[in-house]
Structure 1
Amino acid sequence: MKTILLILALICANLTAYSQWSTDPTQENLIRQGNEVIREFTIHTDNNGGTFLVWEDWRTFGPNIYAQRITTDGLPKWDEKEGHIVRAMQGNDELIATIDEIGSISDGNGNAIIAWSDTRDGSHVYVQKINGTGQTQWQYRGINICTDCHGGRVKIVSDGNGGAIIAWSGVKEDFNQPSEVYIKRINSSGVGVWQNDVIKVTHNAEYGNDFLNMVSDGNGGAIITWKQNSVSPYGPGPMLAQRIDHNGNVLWNADGVSMGIIIADIDQPKSVTDGNGGIITVWYDVRNSSGNLYAQRINADGQPQWTLGGLPVCTATEDQINPRIISDTQGGAIIAWEDARNGPSNHDIYTQRINASGLAQWTADGIPVCAQPSSQYGPQITPDGEGGAVLTWSDARSADAFNDDRDVYAQRLNGAGALLWENNGAPVAIGERSQGPVAITTDDNGGFVVVWLSDASIFASRLNKDGSLPVTLVSFEARKENDNAVLTWTTTQETNNKGFEIERSGDGKHFEKIGFVDPHSYGSDTIRNYQYLDTNPLAGSNYYRLKQLDHDGKFAYSKIVNVNFGKASRMSVYPNPTMGDLFIETARAGGRIQITDMLGRVVFEKRMVKPRTYIDIKDLSPGMYILREGASSQVFVKQ
């Protein structure tokens, strides 16, 4: 496999586009177009090659929670780019309520379970499940999991059995008491399964508890960490941990296990499982006047494994902030952070690997992932599936005195700390707008999905693990000749090229295969020119792309080109016959489409928000149907 050099697009060699994913970092993949405030968001895999995205959205007068599923093709699955509502405010709720925190996990069955705290009626913790088609599964507006609790910070992990474990900090019944930590497990129906229902984890914190984190213990239970405010609401205090098993039994000391007496103020703790029923926690610590990073490991029996108070991860000059942590799959961890050692206005991204004994495995005080001028912000990290990590961040290297525009970059490291992609990061999004903050997850299909905010909209990109594509595509063009669309493209270095599938779309989003072109020669290293003639183009816009196939099963998509053949006809329905995906093009928006069987029974209805739309009719029985919109109708066959 040769490395792709999409010469016309100047893309980084480490980004691969699959289906609708853009190969050009200047052309972002839009997921949600917004003009309103979008605040907190979270992403995770759907365990089927796609991604669940959940966010707080102010498109009305107050906060609501929306979700979207991004397909393996990079397309928003539900309601085009609007998302499905998970939690809706009503009446005065919109004017007075707030959302404190959102957490979401995959249940392992193609659904997402979402937890949050909102103030619609005091301050309670709610949960909702949304399935793969975007339908909420539990009661409207979510289940209140503790009616006499008033919660703030919320964390959620899978119980490994289709349900979830939710933890939160707050009070129960008495608002005058300090904040405590509570935990509850629910099954796949949202019903509590523990005998005591809600378990109080913390005790005797005079000024409450803060900085809640939680990870799965790998056996259906969870490990919780928190800071105990024993001196003042915001001052020094110990970091504590507790393990709860799948039956709701408290396994460690009743008051929690201390990570050591920490006399300095701490902040930003993050935790990860050690893979053996224990936990590794990293935090920001000002014991050395400047803020450095320290970590502690507690084993499955609740015993601290490293020096009480934690071992140093980085004690370089100035501050190290915003740590993020993942398992290294060998009992240790890989940690990334934002580092000001090169100046308070020149934050860089650094990383370090520590083993099960807490010893640094890479250069002391970390290796620079990106040390470009200006600052890099908010690193996020995910495992690469091979003992290394993929990082992404918001990057101001292109900012100047007149703007603070930020871009999105990414980097992959192996288990030895070697940078595998372009020095200082591969560009993910370098458009005209400012990008960030960012989030990243694996897609369970050998790649990684990065999501970011920009101008109140949500964008995404997919990164391939090795960044290689099978063919060097020099050009790809389309033109109109009489009633035909002529596609031409030029390639070089066709090592392992199996050929090209030609795909067409009426809306630029939903494509179908219309032809195939064999390679001119196997193993060619010279310029090759290709042509394909579409003798039956669609009325209106025709969008084309190439799907280049490899003999080893890999593939890559070209950019999209367009040819227009005038106004669309009254109605176009394709493909016909269909296995379940039906694309409809009409002359106007706002109409209503209706599908009836041959006995006249209505089996599907939907309003056409746009002149072109896509519907999923996989649930229809095989047979012949009639699709109507206004005075137009067309017969199609469902196979």
Structure 2
Amino acid sequence: MRKLYFVLTAGGLVVAGPAFAQDLTNAGATLTVQPGAVLYVGTGGLSNQAGSTLTNAGTLRTDGGLTNAGTLDLNTGTLEARGDLANTGTLLPGTSVVTFSGPANQLLTPGGASLYQVVVNKPTAGANTLQLGGSLTVLNQLTLTTGLVNTQNGSTVNTLSLPDGASVSGEASGRYVLGALQVTRNAVSGSSPVDFSHGVVLNPQGNSLGAVSITRTAGLLTPDVSYGQNVGGTSKGIDRIWAVVPTSQPSSPVQLSLSWLADDNNGLTDLTTARAWQQPAVGQMWRPAGPVTDASSSLSVSATPTVLNRFTVSNAANPLPVTLVDFTAQAQGPAAVRLNWTTASELNNVGFTVERSLDGHVFAAIGTVAGAGTSSTAHTYNLVDNRLPAGATLLYYRLGQTDGSGEVHYSPVRTVALTAQAAGFVVYPTHVAVGQVATYLYTGPTGPATLHVFDVLGRSVLSLPAEGRAQGEVPLAGLAAGAYVLRYTTATASFTSRCVVE
């Protein structure tokens, strides 16, 4: 043990001036560091055992670990911990500033205790994390000068809580709180914005929300814990989720501003169409909560919800309120295109608008199909485009999905190449719903003709004059489901095609 100066008093041991120790164990004594005094404990560490009391009104620095199983009263002094800090006894925070400045990663195990003010000032790049071994409350200020705080320990995500009046400062790229950071503000009401200091500014806009706690979970790269995704898992948002819990839900829209660091972009490279998204509860579907915003520079968006729950940020198409797992467009003969699509889940889905384009840029609606509303099961849809533009050899199709708020989300574009029209006779579509009509194209010799429809047994079920027209309808209404042969007969030729009524 190196130079160590104590003053012995009736109350126990008092550090009245500079004191230095390679290690220090307090085994049942009362040890006080007076104002202006310095107690420096080297790499051997400091152990304040059960039944012992250590009060710090001066300066205490530990290069090794600090363990407390007795009473550790931080009082009005300052504590610089350069090793791990583990508390299993009584820790009184006082108004002390506790700085974590070790050159290696450090573990703080609070043991249910609170700290008044915490500073993270780590000197070594790559070994710059303060990890929480349990949940911690910081009563006044968390300041990040250099280094990260990680609330996750193994599979447990602890919570770093800042009560009303406390805040976090200094968050920037490479130094912020990973895991769960909860900030509470009391008596949130009126029309003044309230800054929660961890990426949320809430304007109650006349609502009386009472105490509001917002837990930000960030940087864990875990779906539905730190980032949102659609039900199919094919798209995702930034690696931050804010869970907002008010005492009273608003009766009219409030204003939320959400901001984040580029560290949590989570692979999203296009933020020109960023927007806020909202989720009622863990595991449920996300829906848009704010306008589309170019956030590529600001890394911030706004939302105007009427219910406060879970929020994240993504671009305008991720996570989608409708999980589209398949969308195809295929030619059916020379004059029809069949479009099929399947959803894995839907949220407030009013329906789909099928759009067609000749050049891939200007689209026009050709039909609509009603959606399933809100559903977590798969649904299959189709539409047949049988009014193709004359002479077209390449067509472009996309789906416009409309949700309950009127927002429209577009699918990827599909292309269909059409073959040149061959001489003869063709019926399209080849699959027709019961009660519907089919269309035929005839490119043979002109003149009087007859159109016959036969069932699979060769029995004639329909016969009508065709008069050599190049295009006409086949009225299949009244025919039962099944396969049919259609024969177009002129004085000099006969042509055959097939279709299925289903």
TM-score when normalising by structure 1: 0.24
Higher normalized contact order (CA 8 Å, seq sep 6+, divided by chain length): 1
More strand by share: 2
Larger radius of gyration: 2
TM-score when normalising by structure 2: 0.29
